């Protein structure tokens, strides 16, 4: 790893390692999910030993929750940025947020982490709590930025969840009629 270029200790090295690990974990978890992926794979992808992984995240559950929160954070940040840019350009923030969500789903890693998160929520209360907190923030954000009514907001998020599912099962790109119908914008 490259050492910090300059400065004094603004960020601990362990903290930076944790960032590396979370990034690598998202990439590894997205294939077989949280329960299906061994911690050894995460450690290898992050370029550290399994022993050190367990010092950075005391249990696998801790790691999973952190990964889920990171995925949620990434979505929220993208929404905030898209809304700000749209407002500055005098465009519709709602449309910009919908478009940016579609762009996010192009990143298969993020998308799969999302659906693994929802699946894991069934047996991990902390993950479920993180998911709910994320939806709370996202709904508030979209409502505030767009001023849409309840039905319109529900449609916005429903469309997002459909796109999630379609991407997960590999529907986009298929030329069957049903796939084009459900994935079409």
Q: Which residues bind its own copies (CB under 8 A)?
A: 30-33, 35-36, 112, 115-116, 118-123, 128, 131-132, 135-136, 139-140, 150, 153-155, 157-159, 161-162, 164-165, 168-171, 174, 176-179, 181-182, 184
Q: Which is nearer to DNA, 54 or 118 (CB)?
A: 54
Q: Which is nearer to DNA, 37 or 113 (CB)?
A: 37
Counting contacts by CB under 7 A, is residue 11 touching DNA? yes
Half-sphere exposure of 42 (CA within 13 A, CB side): 31
Number of Cβ within 10 Å of residue 172's Cβ equals 15
Determine phi and psi for 98, rounding to 5 degrees. -60, -40
Kindly identify the residues of this chain, within the stretch 30-69, that bind DNA according to CB under 7 A: 37-40, 47-52, 54-55, 58-61
Smallest distance from the beta carbon of 27 to DNA, in angstroms?
Answer: 16
162 Cβ contact list (under 8 Å, min separation 6): 182
Contact region for DNA (CB under 7 A) — 4-12, 73-81, 93-101, 141-149? 4-12
Residue with tokens 């929750």: 65
Determine phi and psi for 167, rounding to 5 degrees. -65, -40
Kindly identify the residues of this chain, within the stretch 18-37, that bind DNA according to CB under 7 A: 37
1 Cβ contact list (under 8 Å, min separation 6): 20, 47
Smallest distance from the beta carbon of 40 to its own copies, in angstroms?
Answer: 15
As a whole number of angstroms, the distance between CA 98 and CA 4 comes to: 38
Give the interface with DNA as residue ranges (CB under 7 A). 1, 7-14, 17, 37-40, 47-52, 54-55, 58-61
């Amino acid at each position: 790893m490259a050492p910090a270029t300059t400065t004094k200790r603004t960020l601990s090295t362990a903290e930076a390692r944790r960032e590396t690990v979370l990034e690598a974990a998202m990439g590894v978890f997205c294939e077989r999910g949280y329960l299906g992926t061994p911690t050894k794979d995460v450690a290898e992808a992050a370029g550290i030993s399994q022993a050190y992984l367990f010092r950075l995240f005391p249990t696998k559950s801790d790691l999973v929750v952190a990964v889920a929160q990171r995925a949620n954070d990434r979505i929220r940040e993208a929404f905030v940025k898209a809304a700000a840019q749209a407002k500055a350009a005098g465009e519709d923030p709602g449309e910009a947020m919908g478009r940016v969500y579609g762009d996010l789903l192009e990143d298969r890693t993020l998308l799969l982490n999302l659906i693994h998160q929802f699946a894991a929520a069934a047996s991990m209360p902390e993950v479920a709590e993180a998911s709910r907190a994320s939806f709370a923030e996202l709904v508030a954000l979209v409502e505030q930025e767009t001023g849409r009514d309840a039905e319109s907001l529900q449609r916005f998020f429903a469309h997002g969840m459909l796109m999630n599912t379609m991407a997960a099962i590999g529907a986009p790109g298929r030329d069957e009629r049903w796939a084009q119908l459900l994935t079409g914008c």
